[in-house]
Structure 1
Amino acid sequence: MAVKALTWAALAVGFGSIVTGCTSTMRTAAAERDYPPLGEFVTVDGGARVHYLQAGSGPDVVLIHGAGGNLRDFKFDLFDKLAQNYRVTAFDRPGLGYTDRFPGLPDGALASAGESPLQQAMMLRQAAGQLGINDPVVVGHSFGGIVAYQWSLMGLDGDDPVNAAAMVSFAGVTMPWPGDLGLYYTINGSAFGGAVVVPLISAFVPNGTVDDAITATFAPNPAPEGYGAFIGAPLTLRAESFRANARQVNTLRPHVVEMAQRYPELTLPIEILHGLEDTTVPIDIHAEEVIKIVPSANLTRLPGVGHMPHHVDPDAAIAAINRAASRAGLR
């Protein structure tokens, strides 16, 4: 009887795995059909492809999106407005949207390594160099903020046309935070989560859960009309993208600790836009602390605004970029 029970259990697990895999594959295909690449591709060292969208003319502005997102976040509104006065380039970060993961990084369902800010900045800087980007204003939102800081720190170590002339942070991750990130990232960023939990999420999470996540990200502000339909959240629910995002966030803190030691060396113009009601990247832990050690950083505090200041107050976002460009002598 015991052998028979184990046999049925094994068959049930195997059948469940097949159903999960097939459902996840179908949802991935649907996501890529409904949300195809908006831009073009450039290939960097190691054969990795980087997806980018570029438009406009003038000083270069580089846009780097946050965790779980893609360049559609900026394309929804800010990209086209900035393209009236700048040459704007938005990138998909490694592992997200349509950009490949960092070459050589352990991959697969049982891996747990995530791209560091340095690895991400290396890929995006290489792509920027191939696109002829020069003295850019580098803009990062949320996780993209720490990549923007890393991009800026790399300019301390040698001359390069793609070194940031100025930097702008929209609710950017900047400083080490107390405690951990909770079970969501701990589990999903682990080998067990990557092999077991992520495929189930990819296959079966309902659309209502995605809508709730968008609502929580914008809180206490409402998401702009049409944002959820445009952003391409199903792209993030693809198993490989979901794993990449979880691993990047789960392994981030040690890199931030190391980076923060060099922040006082930064002298380039830095503009920070941060909502006082941001509970995802709290202003008191990040922006308020970094301005204490970086004299060139200017913080604009937005009362009543949460984690998406560039959508809630796009005029303030554009003004911050204009200030950064002017301080850098680009306008």
Structure 2
Amino acid sequence: MSVLSLLMVVVVIGLVQWRASAREASAEALYPPSGQIIDVDGTDIHVRVEGSGPDVVLIHGASGSMRDFTFDLVGRLSDRYRVITLDRPGLGWSNRPRPGYGGAWSNRAEPPTLQARLMQAAADAVGITNPVVVGHSYGGAVALAWALERPEDTGALVLLGAASNPWPGDLGLFYQINSSKAGGALAIPLITAFAPSQAIENTVREIFAPQKIPDGYLDHIGPEMTLRRTTQRANAQQVNSLRPYVVEMAKKYPTLTTPVEILHGTADTIVPLQIHSEPLAKLLPNANLIRLEGVGHMPHHAEPGMVSDAIDRAARRAGLR
């Protein structure tokens, strides 16, 4: 490679990194933390608390943050519950633990059990007691890990389109590339720097399908926060490494006697009902499965009333109301 070619490569790399940094700074200025940052042994966990009553913990899915819940669901619950929303490690305003911490990053990602422990410690700091733990999508796996870690101090579970059981095949080239070292160094900065707004909206539209994106949702959640380089790497590595952890967790599901409400859309093509929630309901001794006809991967937006009712039902089953 000539000196001129090398110089051009350096300039292009510098331009990409500059553009990525500028977009990240703009996103963080527009969407600052809405709760408090709690230090858990060197890991910052973002926690927000609203309302009063029995404790309800909300755990968001992949590529998201607590803002997915603060858009609508928190407001439906905070009149009768103390609602604790958290950003999962590496997403939103929560950091990833240092490499090697508590077994972290053995596969370059934090297992659901470690995420649960970090979030439990942050929840402990705000005085959580015997909560109803609600998990959506990837957050459903973390909610199950939460209950497995603290079976005697988890009032109930509510699982929304939860990734809970092993699935056939892999997750596709996108996650494989972005979870790799080369993809993290090359592909992710390009996405951060140049992903157009229309492409972001199209991705969110696919997640909501067959339902539409609610008015105002994109402005509220700030999808640009998910495009940050550290967030993309964390999300890709966590999702791409989830399956082996779910395989091991599934062996323990029959030991969970906690009341569980499971809601899953029949039109969910991202986390299919037949692969996840239907087998899960058979493994859990105290589960109630609700099939949401025609609903996709976002039941808490498509059928928020049914989700709110399921949380009330779980709280009653746990003796919390």
Question: What TM-score does the superposition give when structure 2 sets the normalisation length?
Answer: 0.97
**Alignment partner, residue 295 of structure 2:** 305
Give 1:239 deviation, angstroms: 0.3
Per-residue CA deviation, residues 242-278 of structure 1 (Å, 9 max, x unaligned), is 1100010011111000000000101000001110000
User: Offset of 1:52 from its aligned partner?
Assistant: 1.1
Alpha-carbon separation, structure 2, partners of 1:21 and 1:223? 31
1:237 matched to 2:205: no
Q: Does 1:100 align with 2:95?
A: yes
Counterpart of 2:126?
131
RMSD of aligned residue pairs (Cα, Å): 1.2
**1:164 correspondence with 2:154:** yes
Taking the aligned partners of 1:97 and 1:77, their CA distance within structure 2 comes to: 18
1:152 Cα deviation (Å)?
0.4
- What amino acid maps onto 1:128 in structure 2? A
* Residue equivalent to 1:330: 320
List structure 1 segments (4+ residues) > 4 angstroms apart after TM superposition.
none
Aligned to 1:23: 19
Matches within 5 A, 1:113-262: 113-156=108-151, 163-262=153-252
Match of 2:275, SS? coil
Distance in 2 (CA, whole Å) between partners of 1:20 and 1:208 is: 20
5 Å-filtered alignment, 1:41-80, equals 41-45=37-41, 47-80=42-75
CA contact (8 A) 1:138 1:168 kept: yes
Structure 2 CA distance, aligned partners of 1:200 and 1:172?
30
Kept in 2: contact 1:50–1:91 (CA 8 A): yes
Distance 2:184 2:114 in 1: 21
Contact 2:49 2:85 in 1 (8 A): yes
Amino acid in the other structure paired with 2:59: I
- Measured in 1, the distance between the counterparts of 2:216 and 2:60 equals 18
Tell me the SS of whatever aligns to 2:239.
Answer: helix
- The offset of 1:112, in angstroms, is 6.6
Q: Cα offset for 1:103?
A: 3.0
Shift in Å, 1:6: 2.7
- Name the CA distance, whole Å, in 2 between partners of 1:38 and 1:203: 25
- 1:272 corresponds in structure 2 to 262
Instruction: Tell me whether 141-150 or 289-298 shows the greater mean CA deviation.
Output: 289-298
What amino acid maps onto 2:242 in structure 1?
L
Question: What CA distance in whole angstroms lies between the structure 1 residues aligned with 2:199 and 2:109?
Answer: 25
- Residues 276 and 283, structure 1, Cα contact 8 Å, conserved in 2: yes
> 1:121 touches 1:148 (CA, 8 Å); kept in 2?
yes
Q: Distance in 2 between matches of 1:154 and 1:290?
A: 18
Q: In structure 1, what residue type is equivalent to 2:158?
A: V
The change in CA–CA distance for 1:60 and 1:265 in structure 2 (over 3 A counts) is: same
Task: Tell me the CA shift for residue 105 of structure 1.
Answer: 4.5
What's the secondary structure of 1:52's corresponding residue? strand
Q: Percent of pairs identical after alignment?
A: 50
Any conservation in 1 of the 2:261–2:288 contact (CA below 8 Å)?
A: yes
CA contact (8 A) 1:82 1:88 kept: yes
- The 3-state SS of whatever aligns with 2:2 is helix
Residue 29 of structure 2 corresponds to: 33
Q: TM-score, normalised by structure 1?
A: 0.94
Q: CA deviation at 1:292?
A: 1.2
Separation (CA, whole Å) in 2 of partners of 1:300 and 1:9: 60
Deviation at 1:295, TM superposition (A): 2.1
Aligned partners of 1:189 and 1:243 also within 8 Å: yes
Q: Give the secondary structure class of the aligned counterpart of 2:38.
A: strand
Alpha carbons of structure 1 residues 129 and 81: separation in structure 2 relative to 1, 3 Å = same
AA at the equivalent of 2:144? Y
Unaligned 5+ segments in structure 2 are none
CA-to-partner distance for each residue in 1:297-317, whole Å, 9 max, x for gaps? 111100110000000110001
- On the 8 A contact 1:112/1:191 being kept in 2, the answer is no
